[in-house]
Structure 1
Amino acid sequence: MSDEVVRALRRGVAALVLAGLVLAPWAVDDYTAALLARTLALGLVGVSVALLTGVAGLPTLGQTAPYAAGAYASALVAGRLSDVGPVQVAVAAAAGAALAAVTVPLVVSARGVVVLMITLAVGELVVTAAGRWRSVTGGTDGLAGIAPVRPLWGMPVLATDRARYLYTLAVVAVLLGVVLLVLRTRVGLLLRAGRDDEARLRASGHRVSAQVAGVHIAGGAVAGSAGALLVVAQQYVSPADFGFDTSALLLLGVVIGGAASVAGALVGTVIVIAARDWLFGVLPGQAPLVLGLAFVVTVYLLPGGGRRPAVRGRLLPGVPARRRPADRPTPSEVRA
């Protein structure tokens, strides 16, 4: 299929999914509304994955780490400090950003598959730590009975699954809008320039390492915010919410939605998670196999499949190809 046809199909699917998300709480039961709220939280983590993988060119399997940090921070705030939603989201974003900042030295000098493996290791270490730090995280039993959130100061708590879903949808929409606005500025241009030709950007005098560190921390903040929404959706959190299978599903959703599109990543992640939950009921025990086959098929059906270099010199399906005009100036010409 041509690029134009794929883009048109993605826009149509995205419009249908977004319309369904808005109308969903009045068309489904409370249990399904709670599942959809959790799916939206994961969709926001998918946005952070797309920000790093598709926009900045840093493939990651470790965004579940700041996601977990944000979830546990939000749960602790809900039980000991405040039940106000914006406070919990802010604390969760700070926790996710702080964890990402700690891992910056590991990421800033690595590229391609090396980043992928480093982030995977960080994610697994965080899950292991969460399972053993019982005094804070509750260990493998998790934290249960978390107090319901109130959307703003002075407002009643969200006592129904529909209300919690609508709150989650509103927060996701606001945060997605902020990310899209930032990417339309010079910041977004520099991130894409570093993804397409890092050496040329560095030769032009830009501080690429600081740029990579900044987007890594920003992605952690977005994923941390999603952790607060997970707590709102299920009022429970455990290490099982942040395993490798979640990381793999997030990357699959980002690839399906178009790795260079953060809005598409949200839609793709929602589709993949919803399909996973449906397949678990239809094909017990076979859902991972079906999703794995879907990932392989997606890679080869997307324009360029696995052939286009776009992740700072590495391979990633679904990201526009790097353009190399024959008359590209040399680094010495750029400095001149």
Structure 2
Amino acid sequence: MDLFLVQLLNGLVYAMLLFLMAAGLSLIFGLMNVVSLAHGSFFMLGAYIGLSIYQITNNFWLALVLAPIPTAALGMVVEILFLRPLYRRGHLDQVLMTFGFTFVFFDLVRSIWGSNIRNMAVPEALAGAVQIGAGIYPVYRLFLIAIGLALALILWLCIERTRIGAMVRAGVDDSAMASGLGANVPLLFTGVFGVGVALAALGGVAAGPIMGLYPGMDSEVMIPAFIVIVVGGMGSLRGAFVGSVLIGMADTFGKTYVPSMALFLIYLVMAVVLLTRPQGFFGIKHMGSSGNIPPRNAVATAPTTRSRIIGAMVVAAMAIAPLFVNNHQLTLVSEIFIFAILAMSLDILLGFTGLPSMGHAAFFGLGAYAVIVLASLFNVDPWIGVAIGVLLAAAGSAFVGYFCVSATGITFLMLTLAFSQLAYSVVVKWRDVTGGSDGIGIPEKPAFFIWSLESRMVMYYMTFGFFILCYLGLRRMIASPLGHVLVGIRENEGRMLAIGHNVQGYKLLAFIISGTIAGFAGGLYALFNGFISPDAIHWSASGDILIMVMLGGGGTLIGPAIGAAIFLLMKNLVSSYSDHWMLIIGCVFIGCVLFFPEGLWGTFRRLKPVRAS
């Protein structure tokens, strides 16, 4: 068979699988204005539930029909109990909540079905191949194309030609008006969420025979699905279909004809579409999606005598801690100091300026890779590499920020995600320099003045000192007029613009400062770890940094540092006692988003002692 025709059919197969994911995701956003990072998890859950049904019944068709039902039921429970309380809070809490569920569902899948790759057999009726032109093509792949096209037609007819579809369209246009006219909007929300989850689960079962099943398959399909709805337009079924075909074809032909550029190209397409048409080709604009995240914590207040005393006591305790802890604990706390600097850098952007970035790990990676690559390939002193990494992170953040700061809300988040994944694709593909997916390391750690960083105590005091310097420097900046302007932009961007401030310039400055400090943290991490891999700049790593900031409390500086400590302590200590550390972290984070929207430190700051009368 002609290579072009084969790739055309393969592109359609991939496009239809993407459509099953993207259609539900797009419907959920269009009606509910909810961005769910857990949608890929429902794809994975549907695939595994389908596998269990297939193993019990030995019937693929029963698995295909039945697996979406319990998956959709689980999705509706999540919507009612966890997402519904967040509708008034904005996109960021929704993103964070659903990101927490990715931890929970990943652990559940690994616990129930194991970590090995599982296979689902192609049904016997579709196991053959058919003659097409001069060659043959698998029947099952043609079936996937047919089922995708059929579901696209059915969904279109339901939306455009039925009463329920009219209610959905009315809810998309104006949910308040639809409610006033008698539509049960909460029930409609739950139903649409369930349908979206069912479509994802159906896609997971259908993809099983050709993709295989493994924990982590959710992230493999989640980002391409997001690219689809960004390109086609959030909230548009037509956009989901067109976007799926475009991305499916681009990815398939790219991997065939320009494999080194394929991953880069689809992220570049996403970035270009967001920059030129933020709502996508057929998307709709939501009134509530354009602004920055709502304010939570006030600008850092001037330290009181009591807070200075407590701070001095904490610093003194940390200074003498190495005398009482073992080497493993020293290493863990050193890592906490580095990620505390990274979390504080994101807090400048997220907590004080109100810009939710999902690509902050890219600047961390720039700093780290500069140290490792220059030291390992060009024998450059690692400390010079740290300085170069900081400059690269500053330049990279200036470049990315120039394109991103004109956007706000979910568009800003998606743009930063796109640019971060562009960096990730470069690192993965540029094997000669970065080591690709295997990563790259340095032969030995350098000295800090006259002390070797091979000593864990030296590493501890070095990272502790840099953490204190970064905290004091950032606190001074936040207490300055610049910090007050950034908080003003977070709270009311329009007002700051009206009184004459160059809002775009200040946002770009905040972006550069944030990215530069992240690059410095990356350089320190390279010295600490002596190794770096693409995992450090993957979108999930940016999600971890978001968790740190929001867990401790954005807009407080010290809160994100506390959040970094809690996150890493749970990750390292809980994992040493239980294999279910991801489940525990996910549940803790979900609870924090629900009950402590200002973070643990932000909530603690608002607690006032009750005086006796």
TM-score, normalising length: structure 2: 0.45
Matched, 1:287 2:287: no
Contact 2:375 2:442 in 1 (8 A): no
1:93-132 paired onto structure 2 within 5 Å: 93-132=390-429
2:85 alignment partner in structure 1: none
Deviations, residues 310-331 of structure 1 (Å, cap 9, x unaligned): xxxxxxx97x9xxxxxxxxxxx
Q: Do structure 1's residue 89 and structure 2's residue 386 form an aligned pair?
A: yes
Aligned match for 1:175, one of 445, 466, 470: 470
Partners in 2 of 1:140 and 1:20 — Cα distance? 40
CA distance in 1, matches of 2:583, 2:310: 24
Instruction: Give the distance between the partners of 1:146 and 1:65, measured in 2 at CA.
Output: 24
Q: Distance in 1 between the 2:536 and 2:592 partners? A: 25
Q: Which residue of 2 aligns with 1:211?
A: 506
**1:63, 1:17 → 2: CA distance?**
29
The alpha carbon displacement at 1:198 in A equals 0.5
* 1:90 positional shift: 2.4
Q: Identify if the C-alpha distance between structure 1 residues 17 and 46 changes in structure 2 by more than 3 Å, giving closer, same or farther.
A: farther
1:164 correspondence with 2:462: no
Corresponding residue to 1:33 among 317, 325, 330: 330
Q: Structure 1: how far apart are the matches of 2:323 and 2:436? A: 36
Gap change, CA 1:263 and 1:29, over 3 Å in 2: same
Distance of 1:64 and 1:14 partners within structure 2: 29
Instruction: Tell me how far apart the structure 2 counterparts of residues 89 and 115 of structure 1 sit (CA, whole Å).
Output: 28
Deviations 1:54-89 (A, max 9, x none): 00110112110000000011223444365364x443
Determine the structure 2 residue equivalent to 1:145: 442
Residues 13 and 246 of structure 1, relative CA distance in 2, 3 Å threshold: farther
1:56 aligns with 2:353: yes
Q: 1-side partners of 2:442 and 2:387: how far apart? A: 21
Kept after mapping to 1: 8 A contact 2:386/2:523: yes
Letter in structure 1 aligned against 2:477: V
Partners of 1:243 and 1:128 in 2: CA distance: 9
Q: Distance in 1 between matches of 2:341 and 2:486?
A: 20
Are the aligned partners of 1:165 and 1:233 in contact in 2 as well (CA < 8 Å)? Answer: no
The reply to whether residue 247 of structure 1 matches residue 542 of structure 2 is: yes
Partner of 2:533: 238
- Report the AA paired with residue 187 of structure 1: L
**Aligned match of 1:198 in 464, 482, 493?**
493
State how far apart, in whole Å, the 1-side matches of 2:539 and 2:581 are: 15
What SS class does the counterpart of residue 447 from structure 2 fall into?
A: coil
Residues 1:304 and 1:263: Cα distance change in structure 2 (over 3 Å): closer
When residues 119 and 160 of structure 1 are mapped into structure 2, their CA distance, relative to the original with a 3 A threshold, is same
Say if 1:17 and 1:291 are closer, same or farther in 2 by CA, change over 3 A.
Answer: farther
Which residue identity is paired with 1:75?
I
Distance 2:457 2:598 in 1: 41
Contact 1:38-1:229 within 8 A present in 2 as well? no
| Structure-2 separation of matches of 1:93 and 1:74 | 10
Residue aligning to 1:76: 373
Change (3 A) 1:300 1:48: same
User: When the two structures are aligned, how many residues end up with a matched partner?
Assistant: 297
In 2, Cα distance between the equivalents of 1:16 and 1:111? Answer: 41
Task: Considering Cα pairs closer than 8 Å and 6+ residues apart, tell me whether 1 or 2 has the greater RCO.
Answer: 1
Structure 1: which 5+ residue stretches go unaligned? 306-316, 321-336
- Assess if the C-alpha contact under 8 Å between 1:131 and 1:140 holds in 2: yes
Question: Partner letter of residue 386 of structure 2?
Answer: V
Distance in 2 of aligned mates of 1:46 and 1:156: 27
Change (3 A) 1:117 1:33: same
Contact 1:60 1:119 in 2 (8 A): yes
Between the aligned partners of 1:132 and 1:203, the Cα distance in structure 2 is 46
Aligned to 2:288: none
Encode CA deviations 1:26-65: one digit per residue, 9 max, x unaligned. 3333233223322322221101111100001101121100
**Post-superposition offset of 1:304:** 7.0
Check if 1:136 corresponds to 2:447. no
Which structure 1 residue ranges, 4+ long, deviate > 6 Å from structure 2? Answer: 11-17
- Residue 313 of structure 1 is matched in structure 2 by none
Verify: 1:275 aligned to 2:570, yes or no. yes
User: Aligned pair in 2 of structure 1 residues 78, 253: CA closer, same or farther (>3 Å)?
Assistant: same
CA contact (8 A) 2:372 2:441 kept: no
| Paired letter, 1:147 | E
Unaligned runs of 5+ in 2: 1-296, 302-306, 606-613
- Give the Å deviation of 1:149: 2.3
Q: State the shift of 1:133 in Å.
A: 1.1
What is the CA–CA distance in structure 1 between the aligned matches of 2:477 and 2:501, rounded to whole Å?
Answer: 18
Amino acid at match of 2:583: L
Q: Please name the residue that 2:342 is paired with.
A: 45
Task: Return 52-61 or 249-258, whichever deviates more.
Answer: 249-258
Measured at CA, do residues 32 and 207 of structure 1 come closer, stay the same or move farther in structure 2, by a change above 3 Å?
same
Residue type of the partner of 2:487? R
Tell whether the 8 Å contact from 2:371 to 2:382 is kept in structure 1 after alignment. no
- Measured in 2, the distance between the counterparts of 1:225 and 1:196 equals 29
Distance 1:255 1:19 in 2: 27
Query: Equivalent residue for 1:331?
Result: none
What percentage of residue pairs aligned between the two structures are identical? 27
Between the aligned partners of 1:14 and 1:249, the Cα distance in structure 2 is 27
Match for 1:65 among 355, 362, 368?
Answer: 362
Q: How does 1:3-14 map to 2 (within 5 A)?
A: none
Give the distance between the partners of 2:311 and 2:419, measured in 1 at CA. Answer: 32
How far does residue 129 in structure 1 lie from its aligned partner after superposition? 1.9
* CA separation of 1:32 and 1:121: change in aligned 2, threshold 3 A: farther
Code of the aligned partner of 1:94: L
RMSD: 2.9
From 556, 559, 563, give the equivalent of 1:261.
556
